[in-house]
Amino acid sequence: MRRDVFQAIADPTRREIINLIATQSLNLNAIADNFEMSRPAISQHIKILTECGLISIKKEGRERFCKVKFQKLKEVSKWVEQYRIFWIDKLDALENHLSNSINEVNFKK
């Protein structure tokens, strides 16, 4: 089953894993040390993030280091942006409407 980016970021643990490795690569043990869950559970989250293309794993000796692939988050950003623009337009229209209504009330006084 091919997972998508939205499935990956739907889980708070996976979002936190992304936050942890956003600035530096970490090995699986270092990631797992930040959570109160089993290492196999963390490995499952890592697997999902890898399947979605959000992280890559690089082997260095016996260690496996995880690194964020930010380009995949652009898909999420693009999707969110359309709604940000939509709501900005709606709120601007509401502000104009309220401003006009206040001006009409003040004019009638």
Q: Domain locations in the chain?
A: 5-68, 72-108
Q: Please answer whether residues 66 and 56 qualify as being in contact, where contact means their C-beta atoms are separated by less than 8 angstroms.
A: yes
Reported as a single tens digit per residue, the pLDDT across 34-75 is 999 999 999 999 999 999 999 999 999 999 999 999 988 888
| pLDDT at residue 81 is higher than 90 | yes
Q: Please answer whether residues 15 and 9 qualify as being in contact, where contact means their C-beta atoms are separated by less than 8 angstroms.
A: yes
Distance CA 28, CA 60 (A): 12
Distance CA 33, CA 38 (A): 10
What is the pLDDT at residue 21? Answer: 96
Percentage of the chain lying above the pLDDT 90 cut: 71
Tell me which fold the domain 5-68 belongs to.
Arc Repressor Mutant, subunit A (1.10.10)
What is the pLDDT at residue 27? Answer: 95
